[in-house]
Structure 1
Amino acid sequence: MRNWWPLVAVCLGAFMLLVDVTIVVVALPVLGPDLGASFTDLQWVVDAYAVALAALLMVTGTLADRFGRRRAYLAGLTVFAMASLACGLAPNAAVLNAARVVQGVGAAAMFASTMALLQLAYRGRDRAIAFGVWGAVTGAAAATGPILGGLLTEHLSWRAIFLVNLPISVAAAVLAVGVLAESRDPAARRIDVPGAVGFTAGAATLTYGLIRAGTHGWTATGTLAWFAAAAVALAAFVVVERRRRHPMLDLGLLRRASFVGVLVAAALVSAAAFGYTVYTSLWLQTTLDLGAVGAGLALLPMSGAAFVTSAVTARRLVGADPRLTVCVGLVLVGVGALTQSPLSAGSSWPSVLPGLLLAGVGVGVILPNLSAAAMAAAPVERSGMAAAALNTARQLGFALGVAALGTVFAHRLAPDPLTDRAATAAALSEALLAAGCVGLAGAGVVALLMRGGTTHPGAPAPRHRAPDAPGRSGHPLTDAR
């Protein structure tokens, strides 16, 4: 058993940080009135964490390589635990959302170092087993988040969903100090501070603009100003990355249509499959009176179907054309959302069950193939950077999906309250319709981008170097299944 303690230490942190992406979904209808939070505040409870996690994954990976993977993991655990305490004690929505940002910073440091820690701790068959267990744990995190959130919220308090992180963080830190070895990359790249600032500013302002559009309108001066700020920040990021000797993201990768297709697929599956679950939870609890546990159980079929499908098909799809599996998965996600969309005042939770199952199957088909497709589409010396970009796209896609679909939901709902069954059902229906269209349109876009540009996931990646970036090395970063 002693041999597996490093795996336990890493999996505790990974499970905790991934659960916190979705655990708050079922708590929103309870914490909202308790803190006097607006609809926009509730969106930020989800997105503040997701944006910080997405924006900082690549830069924290570089920090981990440079200063030590175990040190980065422990620092991330400490920051995450303290921010969780602040979340649990938050007196208002502003403090809660600020603490969620800090939580995301800690989560990024943890997430960026897990793969390298397991890589160092195990060899041969043990390494394969460790990565398999880690993948199962990360998949289980997505499946159990809403259920854990429902149980803690309904039987204790919404604050418990954050405070429960404290003993888990302590246990993970004690284990990490005792069983994890330290490692660094002697050739680690320099930290790309300007690139990190530009990308973070672009992601945050774009998300804020989308959320603001839901309450103030798309053509409002303030909304357009935030979109303009996002455009400027992202343009600055591109300019900076083109001139940096050691960029956070080698823009040469984006000249590979197949790699861009993988990133687009990662973002769209997160947006189309999970972006509407926040509003489904609001409908389940505020209009159907299911309670937090009931909402968690009602949402379980999608994550459960994704977990089972991923486990069953992962080996069977080795060697399959990644373009086919990713596009089929996106179609299933889109059709699943569309299947849920015909809602009315008389609809109940079984109305969304078939669509949730179908979307879950689509997610389970896509996710095991995305990392392999990304590795096949990128040069071998850029594998760490490619994995970081993939994870960033997934988390950012979720954040933008929550924001964009929230705009649709809020626009259709206003000025009716959430307790109006007909109005809430109609608002959720339009959000689901939009998500379905995103999934189906995304399948077409990805099919064009990935056309002939990747090898099969089971085939070895081509060993060639990026012509415009000789000698640089990407940092190892885990990929959530």
Structure 2
Amino acid sequence: MVDVTANPRRWWALGALVASMLTLGFDMTILNVALPTMAGELGATTGQQQWMADAYVVVFAALMLPAGLLGDRFGRRRMLITGLALFLVGSLMGALASDVNWVIAARAFMGIGGALVTPLALSVLPSLFGPDERTKAVGIISAASALGLPLGPIIGGWLLNHYWWGSVFLINVPMAAIGIAACVFLLPETSDPASPRVDPLSTVLTATGLGALIYAIIEAPSRGWSDALILAMFAAAAVLLTALVLRERRATRPMLDMTLLAHRGFLFNTSAATLAMFVLSGLMFVLPPYIQAVLGHDAFGTGLRLLPMMGGLMVAARGAQPVVARFGPRAVVSAGLVVLAFAALLGSRTTVDSGYGFTALWLSITGVGFGFSIVPAMDGALGTLPRDRAGSGSGLLMTLRQVGAAIGIALLGSLLAGIFRDRLDVTGLPGPVAHTAGNSVVAAHLIAQRTGSSHLAASADDAYVHGMGVVLLVCGVAALAAALLTAALLPRTAPARETEGGADMVVPAGDARQ
């Protein structure tokens, strides 16, 4: 292996990794602002919008563990370059797509690239920096990941105001290309041939099981929960995921080490982090259409109006460590979840006439609650593990968080879609037009503009805000239940990890966007 720890070019290499992580960071939130515009121009239903958001997350969650193992066995630089190349190709596919299904396919392809880049970007740092500089390097990458959250809506909104919707994909291309060039010229190759082998069958079981579950949840509102296909998909998901758990439990060196859940601290911290991701991902899906369609702001204005939540999140993430040192992780995680529940319950009181000021208030509280719950929960989960299992614990934690995000978008988006369709007043509209209006609040507003029906526009706003209120109520109940479980069952303290390379195993706080 080439020793570059004394080479000043290592900071250029870190810059390239930062650009890559920044791109992945704002790509998670940039699409949320673009969805209302894409719904109008592509005619995407709420279900299709859910798939555009979830295709990336489901593939990311399914492939993150095997992707990290591929880097360990076949070369981290090689796999990192491959991941960035796949992300670049997927971004080009999305930018050039003229059909909703192609956009969904592009997002899934980008998920493959993201799954390779995220775990490997941290794993190459030990080959670049010595122990004295490594913590600083990890902190810089973590900051880049966190910065992607507020940048996404702002960049996406600006692009949509000046260019066509495909520009939110095209911006990834030069960033990924710079990352590839830097990896080729600046990164050394490293590997760990002793790492567990990638199990193709477990990978397939994960992807198909999660895919079947998400498909059933997203399609159920339009097909009906008792539809034969929906019931078959739920049954298939149960069988596939059960088979995955049984196979991994029997494996000598499993990819998905389920025995880690026997650690009480790991189990309940991971559960708290997963439920927090469930709540946040659902909120990020339902909020942009409200701000854009109901409140009437453009895409850039929508991005700016999401900043209170991002600001609260970043402030809490930075302040979590000293608060945990003073009061302990159980108290802080529980309190953060209670604050998150309060914010969601407050948001459920939103009406059509509430205005943005009220929204900004509960959005700020949401960010604070999320930051004070997710960061200490993630650190606490990994802190309970033995030194030799920190890597597998990190992988399992990140995978479960991605699953929580995917189910949040699917379940809460489907709940909103069903309520909106049932509550929308389409009296007097022809059947096909009424069906189209029920697809999304954006479609209803477009039809209202074409027909000059102020009644339809008002009904669409009322139906959407009512549906959003129910979603926020569910989020509040879920966060409160998580807070009670955490307060009752999480161990009072967790032993600190005292490993020289421990920082390398900590998932960046900015990864909360995923």
Is residue 2:497 matched to residue 1:460? yes
- Residue of structure 2 in register with 1:57 after alignment: 64
In structure 2, how many angstroms separate the alpha carbons of the residues matched to 1:447 and 1:57? Answer: 30
- Residue of structure 2 in register with 1:472 after alignment: none
Residues 25 and 278, structure 1, Cα contact 8 Å, conserved in 2: yes
Seq. identity, %: 34
- Residue of structure 2 in register with 1:14 after alignment: 21
Residues 125 and 137, structure 2, Cα contact 8 Å, conserved in 1: yes
Q: Residue 478 and residue 167 in structure 1: after superposition, are their counterparts in 2 closer, same or farther (change >3 A)? A: farther
Higher deviation after alignment, 103-112 or 240-249 = 240-249
Residues 305 and 364, structure 1, Cα contact 8 Å, conserved in 2: yes
Q: Aligned runs of 1:281-292 on 2, under 5 Å?
A: 281-292=288-299
Q: Which secondary structure state, in structure 1, belongs to the residue aligned with residue 188 of structure 2?
A: coil
Residues 115 and 478, structure 1, Cα contact 8 Å, conserved in 2: no
TM-score, structure 2 length as denominator?
0.87
User: Aligned-pair distance for 1:478?
Assistant: 6.1
- Residue of structure 2 in register with 1:142 after alignment: 149
- Residue of structure 1 in register with 2:483 after alignment: 443
- Residue of structure 1 in register with 2:175 after alignment: 168
Unaligned runs of 5+ in 1: 463-475
User: Aligned-pair distance for 1:76?
Assistant: 0.1
In structure 2, how many angstroms separate the alpha carbons of the residues matched to 1:9 and 1:461? Answer: 30
Aligned match for 2:215, one of 208, 231, 234: 208
User: Aligned-pair distance for 1:274?
Assistant: 2.9
In structure 2, how many angstroms separate the alpha carbons of the residues matched to 1:315 and 1:8? Answer: 29
Aligned match for 1:255, one of 233, 255, 262: 262
In structure 2, how many angstroms separate the alpha carbons of the residues matched to 1:15 and 1:405? Answer: 27
Q: Residue 63 and residue 406 in structure 1: after superposition, are their counterparts in 2 closer, same or farther (change >3 A)? A: same
Is residue 2:65 matched to residue 1:25? no
In structure 1, how many angstroms separate the alpha carbons of the residues matched to 2:85 and 2:327? Answer: 42
Q: Residue 251 and residue 319 in structure 1: after superposition, are their counterparts in 2 closer, same or farther (change >3 A)? A: farther
CA RMSD of aligned residues (A): 2.0
Residues 275 and 398, structure 1, Cα contact 8 Å, conserved in 2: yes
Q: Which secondary structure state, in structure 1, belongs to the residue aligned with residue 324 of structure 2?
A: coil
Residues 267 and 381, structure 2, Cα contact 8 Å, conserved in 1: no
Higher deviation after alignment, 326-335 or 96-105 = 326-335
- Residue of structure 1 in register with 2:470 after alignment: 430
In structure 2, how many angstroms separate the alpha carbons of the residues matched to 1:163 and 1:135? Answer: 24
In structure 1, how many angstroms separate the alpha carbons of the residues matched to 2:198 and 2:379? Answer: 27
Residues 42 and 98, structure 2, Cα contact 8 Å, conserved in 1: yes
Residues 337 and 355, structure 1, Cα contact 8 Å, conserved in 2: yes
User: Aligned-pair distance for 1:219?
Assistant: 2.9
Residues 313 and 368, structure 2, Cα contact 8 Å, conserved in 1: yes
- Residue of structure 1 in register with 2:50 after alignment: 43
Q: Residue 137 and residue 364 in structure 1: after superposition, are their counterparts in 2 closer, same or farther (change >3 A)? A: same
One-letter code aligned to 2:49: L
| Residue-by-residue CA offset, 1:231-263 (whole Å, 9 max, x unaligned) | 011111012112222211122112223212122
Q: Which secondary structure state, in structure 2, belongs to the residue aligned with residue 414 of structure 1?
A: helix
Aligned match for 2:135, one of 119, 128, 134: 128
In structure 1, how many angstroms separate the alpha carbons of the residues matched to 2:388 and 2:508? Answer: 20
Aligned match for 1:297, one of 290, 304, 307: 304
| Residue-by-residue CA offset, 1:158-206 (whole Å, 9 max, x unaligned) | 1001011111111111111111111101311111222111122221111
One-letter code aligned to 2:259: G
Is residue 2:355 matched to residue 1:348? yes
One-letter code aligned to 2:467: A
Q: Residue 446 and residue 218 in structure 1: after superposition, are their counterparts in 2 closer, same or farther (change >3 A)? A: farther
| Residue-by-residue CA offset, 1:38-63 (whole Å, 9 max, x unaligned) | 21110111100011111111110111
User: Aligned-pair distance for 1:312?
Assistant: 3.0
Is residue 2:400 matched to residue 1:386? no
Which structure has the larger Rg over C-alpha atoms? 2
Unaligned runs of 5+ in 2: 1-7, 425-436, 446-459, 510-514
One-letter code aligned to 1:281: P
User: Aligned-pair distance for 1:372?
Assistant: 2.2
Residues 78 and 169, structure 1, Cα contact 8 Å, conserved in 2: yes
One-letter code aligned to 2:508: A
| Residue-by-residue CA offset, 1:63-96 (whole Å, 9 max, x unaligned) | 1100111111100000000010001111101111
How many residues align structurally?
Answer: 467
Q: Aligned runs of 1:283-362 on 2, under 5 Å?
A: 283-318=290-325, 320-362=327-369
TM-score, structure 1 length as denominator?
0.93
Q: Residue 116 and residue 19 in structure 1: after superposition, are their counterparts in 2 closer, same or farther (change >3 A)? A: same
In structure 2, how many angstroms separate the alpha carbons of the residues matched to 1:142 and 1:198? Answer: 31
One-letter code aligned to 2:219: R
In structure 1, how many angstroms separate the alpha carbons of the residues matched to 2:182 and 2:219? Answer: 43
- Residue of structure 1 in register with 2:281 after alignment: 274
Residues 214 and 406, structure 1, Cα contact 8 Å, conserved in 2: no
Residues 84 and 114, structure 2, Cα contact 8 Å, conserved in 1: yes
Is residue 2:417 matched to residue 1:397? no
Residues 265 and 494, structure 2, Cα contact 8 Å, conserved in 1: no
One-letter code aligned to 2:318: A
One-letter code aligned to 1:146: P
Q: Which secondary structure state, in structure 1, belongs to the residue aligned with residue 124 of structure 2?
A: helix
Q: Which secondary structure state, in structure 1, belongs to the residue aligned with residue 416 of structure 2?
A: helix
One-letter code aligned to 2:469: S
Residues 320 and 376, structure 2, Cα contact 8 Å, conserved in 1: no
| Residue-by-residue CA offset, 1:6-38 (whole Å, 9 max, x unaligned) | 211111111111221111001111111222222
| Residue-by-residue CA offset, 1:423-480 (whole Å, 9 max, x unaligned) | 111111111111111111111223344235x515xx2369xxxxxxxxxxxxx76613
